[in-house]
Every structure is written in structure tokens, then in C-alpha cells.
Structure 1
Amino acid sequence: MWRNIASNAMTFLVVLVFLAGGALIWAKQEYSDAGPLAVPICLSVQSGSNMRRVSDELVSQGAVSSGALFRMGADYTDKAGQLKAGSYLVPEGSSMSEIVDIVTRGGASTCGTEVVFRVGINQAMVQVRELDPVTGRFEEVAEFDPAQGEAPEEYTSVKQKADTRFRVALAEGVTSWQVVNELRQVDVLEGDVTEVPPEGSLAPDSYEVRPGDTLESVLSRMQSAQELILATAWQNRASDLPLKTPEEALILASIVEKETGIPTEREQVAAVFVNRLNAGMRLQTDPTVIYGITKGEGILGRGLRRSELDAATPYNTYVIPGLPPTPIANPGRASIEAALNPDTADYVYFVAKTLDPKDGHVFATTLDEHNSNVAAYRRLEAQRANQ
């Protein structure tokens, strides 16, 4: 009898071990397999939260099939204590293992609210945007000019949240004075600077910032980025350019930046000025004259006067030979590269193609051809005046 009891007990233990092993294999498989999430979601992890709260939220949003198994997996992989606050994009079909990795690896939030401080040529704007996890696109919640009255509630309500991301975005062609003047209005940055960085030394780009960052540190990042862009472009420059130093290249790039906003014609505009420099011709470009008047501190807001075009100033390229003494704006990477690798065409003239700046320019190699193009443009002006 005892032999039968022992045999049955052993059989029972074998079955239990088998079942336990099978359950473990199933649990591992369930933890690693694709999850039930049908569409991406934005998961917010608050400061001081824990895996139970996160797992409950995931269950409620249909991202995991079992909160208990999610927590067990986090414990088993020693990640339960590594939860990081933030807002995280959880892709559709994410496994429990992948979600645990998302909420514990740290770094910047990948979804939720984003505040963008845009420094543009004509004005600065603040945008509050929310990521739609389904489309992967940011939807605008609010937009306002920080210099015009109080910020809206949509901004003040998210400014203090730990998972809100902040970016500073510089448009190509802004001046250093504009950058400093507008960044002084960014209320998440601290401190000030006593001097405006040299013109052209700030790289137009998008920079992630954090509340408490100093204005000086952000400007330093922009200068370091521009130094790298210029050094790389100078190293890869075309041969036989009439440019002796990287600083001269930066000056020419800033002129190209202000003369055209059409990406496909930057090299052509650069070719015109390179060909003029090689031929000993004056550059004769309005943006340099304008900079000589404004010093980059705001927009001229009117046309140039005849007296200003005739005045002998360091920036009047209708009068002086060669390049002006400094850049006239902060050029972007594309304009720097265009200045150092211009089109090989023999263009020495260009004029606007139509009255719409978006239509770009028409280029010419001879004065007769250029005069014909100018006449066509004047006719368009006359037609508009008579309408």
C-alpha cells in the first residue's frame, strides 16, 4: 500500500513540476509576445508612481492582458525599481517586455506635450503642441506671441509639468540680436548675457532645453553647432573659391541665406556671387545695405532709399568691392554648404521671377539677358499697380 501511495505522490509531484514548468514557459512567452494594443497610446508616468499604477493604467488602455504578469516580469528582470517619470509613446502591439523597457530606460519624453519657442525672421511665437499617438503628428493646442500680453492658460497649465518638453527653434537667416532678444522672453531659461554673440555664429536649428537652463549655455550650444558645421563644410569646399577663410565663407553664406528662401536655388545664387567676386564685380545686394542700416536689430520695414544705395558704408555692396566686414545673419547648414560648393554655371545676374517670392529667381550670364529679365519683372509690377 505504501508503495502505491509513494508512487502516486511521486506522480503528483512530477505533474506539479510539469505544470509549473509549463506555466513558467507560458508566462515568459506571454511577457515577450506582441501585446493586444490595437493603436499607439501615450502613457503618462507621474513622479512618485510605481509599477502597480502603471500596470493598472496599461490594463485600462488595453495595452497588456495581465497587470500581475507585467509586474512579475518587471520584478524578474530587476527593472521594477527603475521606473522613470515622463510621457512615453507605446507603439501598437508592444510586448510587456518592450513596455517595461520604455518606462525604465529614461531619457526625454517621447510623447505628450511639447512647447516650442520659435525665433523667426519677422516675429517670435510660442507653440503648445500635443502628440497624437495614432498619427504620430503634433497637433497645435495654442500659439501666442510672448511679447504681447500674458501667456494663455494652455501654456501656464503645462509649463510646470515634469513631462512637458521644451524646444527652441531658430529660423534660418535670423540675426544674433534677434536670437538674444527673443530668448530673453523664454521664461524657462535663466540668466542673461552681456554681449550678443558675433553675427553668423549661431546655427539655425531646433534645440531641446530644460527649465533652469541658462541663456548663456543655450547660446553656447548654438555656437558650437555652427563651428562644427562651418569646419566640416570648409574642409569639403570646392577648389579655386575666392574665399580665403571660413569667416569669409560664413559672410557669403549669410548673403545667400538672405537672398533666397528656395532650397533648390541656393547653389545658383552662390554661383552668382562667387562669379562676381572672381570677376572683380561688386556684389550689389540689398540685404547687405539693409544690415548696414539696422545692424540686425529688427526689420527695416520699408524699401531702400536712393541715398542709402549711394552711401559709402562698410555694408553697401553697391559701393564697396568684395564682401562686407561681417555676416549679415545666421546662415543655415544648406546656405553654408552652397557658398562653399556653388553651382558651376556662369551666372552673374539674377532677378525675381514673379511678384511672389516663393517663385524664386531667373538667372542670367549676360547683361542683355539680365536687362530682358528685369524688364519682364517691371511689366509685372506695372500690371499689379494698374489693377
Structure 2
Amino acid sequence: MNQQQNVLLSQADIGAGASDSTKSQQAVSDKASMTPSTASAEQVQQWVYIAQDKRQTAQVRAKALRQLAPYPSQNSLVAVARSLQDDSDLVREAAVIAAEPYQFAHRWRMLSPLLQDQSQQVRVTTTANLIRDFGKMTPDQQQSMTVPFEELKNYLKAQTNPKSMLLLADVYRWHQDWDKAQSLYEQLLKSEPQNVQVWLSVADNLRAQDEDSQALDALNKAIALQPNEANLYYSKALTLVRLEQKEKAAKAIEQAAQMAQTNSYFWYLNGVLQEPLDIEKSVTSFEQAYLISGAPEQLYAVCDIYVRTQNSKTQACLTELGKIAPDYVIEQLEAKRKK
């Protein structure tokens, strides 16, 4: 496999190959999240600078952009937007990969012009980025994906490695060609039964068709093969929520959080699912999520549960949140507190 093919497969690792899970607070989306990286703010800012520094080689700038992919921010977005206009094919492609965390509307606006890029590698990587949101597209947007979809399909069919085959299956799934996706997944399960991502994609494919019981069966088979894989328990929790088996879902996400240890979203979701069952577990899970991530939204979740449970640490939490949140956010929480 050449270097360009490896770069396309890194797109799969970010999205299809790694995890297909949006961080929906309702926990019913068709995705599965990875344990977050822990680069410092200073390191992220350095990558932002390198990505835009034209004194650096294209290879160095492209590497910096790919490293930015897990760290969306305003500065990162500026670096991505500028790099999408770069003269280097390698830099433009890396910028497409770095655009992955941003909302579809923003990505479509930034990336859709590259569907007609002069470089095939940029075109297929762009298509792989956008096609996963095919179901969110307008009819006109879907129509504009027809030719790029065919090109990406043919490109992946020409590859002979399992990662390309998995990405092709995922591309079919995103394009809502469920049967074609399932056929490829079944081939992969025969050749790579220990491959966790294939099982996760199978579950996503079944959930997308509202076949939640079958998705649960697949995940249970996968867990029997890989009992220590946190993402399988996370996906199982999503499926159990859809099946309205809330207690079993809470147990599954608790297992996922304990296995992953440092995945703040798993702990956050554990807080959500434990709340109706065990308020102490819920509070502890929200606290753990914030301790891991330090993210404002996680601090808000902690303060919110404190307010609603009249926790003795409520005021301290609101004071801390007030340093970073708009006044109206604190006012809304204070209003809950007075009820």
C-alpha cells in the first residue's frame, strides 16, 4: 500500500475504522466513541501553528493537521480552512481529515468544493468524510454525491486489504445500501472474527434499520470473543436504550466506562443512565467525566446534577462554572435550585 492509500485509511481510522459514534446525549446514535487523546493545549496550539507555517515541508504540515483531528477548536478550524486551499495535495487531504470533528453543515461548506479537486486522493478522502452524513443531506446534496460515491467505491474495490474492505462496507452503510454493507461485513467476520470494529459496524448497520434485537445478538457474540473491549459494551448500551432496557443499558455503559477508564464521555453517559437507578453512582460518574476532560460541558453536567440533588458542593460548582459560562447559564441553574 502506498503512502496516499495509507492517508485515506487514516480517514477510516478517524471515522469508520475507529468508531462510528456521535456523542448524542440521548445515546441512540449510530456511532461508537474512542478513548480521547490527551495532548496539552500547548501541543495542540503548536500543531495549529505548524499546519499554517509554509516554511515547513508539506509532509510536516500534513502530519500536524492529522494530529489536530481529535482536537476541534476555533484555532484548529482556522488552520483547517486555510489548509484546504493549499497548493499541496498532501496538505489539502490532511486538512480534510482534520475537518472530521466539525458539524456536517460546516464540513459541507468547507469540503464540498474538493469533491472536484484535481487530485483523486483528495477527492476520495473528501467523499469518505462527507458520505457518512448522507442521511442528513438535502436531495441536491445527495445528488451531487453520485459521481464522487462511484469514484470512492471503485477506488476501494481496487484495494486488496481488509481496512479498505471495511471502509467500503461502511461507505455502503452510510449510503443506506444496507444489504451490500451487510454482505461485506459477513465476509470480514469470516476472515477476521476478532476484529472489534467489524462487529461494531455490523451493529450500526442493523440499528440503522431498526433491527435492534439482531444488533444486540451480534454484540453479545462479539463480547464473547472480546470480553475486555470497552467499545462493544458502549455499543451494547446504545442498543439496549433503543430496546428500552434501561437497567441493562446502565450496566453495559458502566462496564464500558470502567474498562476504558479515561474516556470522559463513557463516564458522562454512565451518569445519564445511572441517574434514575442510583443517584450516587450518577453523581460520581459526572464528577469523574469532568475530572478526566476538564471540559465546560462536563462541568455544567456536574453542576446540573448538584442543583437537582441539592448537593452541598452546588455553590462551589456554580462559582467555578461562572468563570467560563455566560450569565444566563448560571441564572438557569439558579432557577432550578430555587424550585
Same fold (TM over 0.5): no
Q: TM-score normalised to the size of structure 2?
A: 0.29
Decide which structure has greater strand share.
Answer: 1
Point out the structure with max Rg over C-alpha. Answer: 1
Q: TM-score normalised to the size of structure 1?
A: 0.27
Decide which structure has greater helix share.
Answer: 2
